[in-house]
Amino acid sequence: MRLLEWQGREVLAKAGIPVPDGEVAAHPKEVERIAARLGRPVVVKAQVPVGGRGKAGGIRLAKTPKEAEEVARALLGSTIKGIRVEKLLVVEAMEPRAEHYLGILLDRSARMPLFLYSPQGGVEIEEVARQNPELVSRVHIPPLEGPASFRLRKLFALAPKGLQPTLLDVAKKLWSVFVAYEAHLVEINPLAELDGRFVALDAKIIVDDDHSPGPQFAELGEEVADPLEAAARKAGMSYVRLDGNIGILGNGAGLVMATLDLVAQAGGRPANFLDIGGGARAERVKTGIDLILRDGRAKVLFVNVFGGITRCDEVARGVLEALQNREIPVVIRLVGTNEEEGRRILASAGFIPVRTMEEGAAKAVAIAKEAECAR
């Protein structure tokens, strides 16, 4: 589960990492009150569990409490990357001298946590790594040993000399968060530098869904999962949000992964994918399609089902029910148990399944491209 920024911020603050003064709010009047208390320009930040909020218009500067209220009115209830904004974080605006990047992630191939640092933060680290790979340093941390100072000094070799001790201190605190919250990822971007001090202007923390119980999680308060992922889990299915425009439904993790690969090879980008699991009945298929289409980002639906214990006729019925009042184009590949009956049901509604996955992927990608051009 990915914590929202305001929760991550509290976690960092509790670990002793400086954060800007501020509060979270759900109403414009509250936002105004917080801005008035802070008594200076503020940054109003949409609390949605996705990155790139800045570019998407979810981070706004407000000079006065009145302006903060107006910004809040515009942001609350709007959607950013398909997610409804329910809460705003209001923090004092800072004028950083520089924006750095500091993160720890689990490097599964090395079986070790990996520290990443760049003196050039503020933008996505992948972007920096592509354009200026020499500005990103990486240091693995043997988990039983922890973040020994000599390793961290190597990590911060790129940092201005005088700032290294302070960065070392922030890194050790960030490590304590990574361990205590059983995280896959903790990331501060930007880590702002103000006259030799560092302040975490953003906080991204992804906690392992199978973390052991502990009071630190209870303190986080409400459930923080992506609303669509949570709804899918509740229905016993798994949904994953991606950032393209092709919705994918399949049965079984292996088939779904293969479908993602084929779509990528055909030059397309999935908006999400949903695994209906084994033996799904029509109702479940319908629920799955509803979830895939709910945020409106998918311009085409690609259903790829291999019938084993899953029956093709049930899948076909579910597809038809889900699409009853919708305009979305759909590409279907349906083979296996009760395939003939499934095809008959689909044909009665004018849908002709494709024969192969490859053909389906190519068709879905072509439709998605056309939809983007038509906009």
Q: How far is the CB of 199 from ligand GDP (least distance, A)?
A: 8
3-state secondary structure 44-110: EEECCCCCCCCCCCCEEEECCHHHHHHHHHHHCCCEECCEECCCEEEEECCCCCEEEEEEEEEECCC
When the beta carbons of 78 and 149 are compared against ligand GDP, the nearer one is 78
How many residues lie near ligand GDP (CB under 6 A)? 18
Q: What share of the chain is helix, strand, coil (3-state, %, to 5)?
A: 40, 25, 35
Contact of 302 with 361, CB cutoff 8 Å: yes
* 101 tagged catalytic: yes
Give the tokens for residue 293: 């289409």
Region 129-148 residues binding ligand GDP, contact defined as CB under 6 A: none
Q: How far is the CB of 91 from ligand GDP (least distance, A)?
A: 6
Q: Which residue of 2, 3, 8, 53 would you call a contact of ligand GDP, by CB under 6 A?
A: 53
Q: How far is the CB of 113 from ligand GDP (least distance, A)?
A: 22
Scanning 48-56, 140-148, 275-283, 334-342 for contacts with ligand GDP by CB under 6 A, the matching segment is 48-56
User: d(Cα 92, Cα 43) in Å, to the nearest integer?
Assistant: 6
Residue 122 interacting with ligand GDP (CB under 6 A): yes
Of the chain, the end-to-end C-alpha distance in Å amounts to 34
Residue 336 interacting with ligand GDP (CB under 6 A): no
When the beta carbons of 190 and 250 are compared against ligand GDP, the nearer one is 190
Q: How far is the CB of 41 from ligand GDP (least distance, A)?
A: 9
Residue 18 interacting with ligand GDP (CB under 6 A): no
In the list ligand GDP, Mn ion, none, the entry touching 264 (Cβ below 5 to 8 angstroms by class) is none
When the beta carbons of 99 and 193 are compared against ligand GDP, the nearer one is 99
In the list Mn ion, ligand GDP, none, the entry touching 165 (Cβ below 5 to 8 angstroms by class) is none
User: d(Cα 360, Cα 158) in Å, to the nearest integer?
Assistant: 48
In the list Mn ion, ligand GDP, none, the entry touching 59 (Cβ below 5 to 8 angstroms by class) is ligand GDP
For residue 258, count CB atoms less than 10 angstroms from its CB and return exposed for 0-12, middle for 13-18, buried for 19 or more.
middle
Q: Which residue of 52, 160, 221, 236 would you call a contact of ligand GDP, by CB under 6 A?
A: 52
Q: Which residue of 15, 44, 91, 260 would you call a contact of ligand GDP, by CB under 6 A?
A: 91
Of 5, 69, 99, 101, the catalytic one is 101
When the beta carbons of 58 and 307 are compared against ligand GDP, the nearer one is 58
Of 187, 229, 314, 339, the catalytic one is 187
Residue 200 interacting with ligand GDP (CB under 6 A): no
Contact of 69 with 27, CB cutoff 8 Å: no
Could you tell me where the beta strands, DSSP code E, fall in the chain? 22-25, 42-46, 59-62, 79-80, 83-84, 88-92, 98-107, 112-118, 137-140, 183-194, 197-200, 204-207, 238-241, 246-250, 270-275, 300-307, 330-336
**Site of interaction with Mn ion (CB under 5 A):** 189, 202
* 181 tagged catalytic: no
In the list Mn ion, ligand GDP, none, the entry touching 122 (Cβ below 5 to 8 angstroms by class) is ligand GDP
Instruction: State residue 302 phi and psi, 5-degree precision.
Output: -115, 110
Residue 193 interacting with ligand GDP (CB under 6 A): no
Q: Helix or strand or coil: residue 352? A: coil
CA separation (Å) from 49 to 103, 115, 216? 17, 22, 20
When the beta carbons of 194 and 349 are compared against ligand GDP, the nearer one is 194
User: d(Cα 235, Cα 291) in Å, to the nearest integer?
Assistant: 10
- The helices-and-strands tally (H runs, E runs) of the chain is 13, 17
Residue 202 interacting with ligand GDP (CB under 6 A): yes
Question: Of 314, 331, 240, whose CA–CA distance to 280 is shortest?
Answer: 314
Residue 94 interacting with ligand GDP (CB under 6 A): yes
Q: Cα torsion for 217, 218, 222, 228, to the nearest 10°?
A: 40
Q: How far is the CB of 52 from ligand GDP (least distance, A)?
A: 5
Contact of 188 with 150, CB cutoff 8 Å: no
Q: Helix or strand or coil: residue 303? A: strand
Residue 20 interacting with ligand GDP (CB under 6 A): yes
By CB under 6 A, name the binding residues for ligand GDP: 20, 43, 45, 51-54, 59, 91, 93-95, 99, 122, 189-190, 201-202
Which residues are marked as active site? Answer: 101, 187
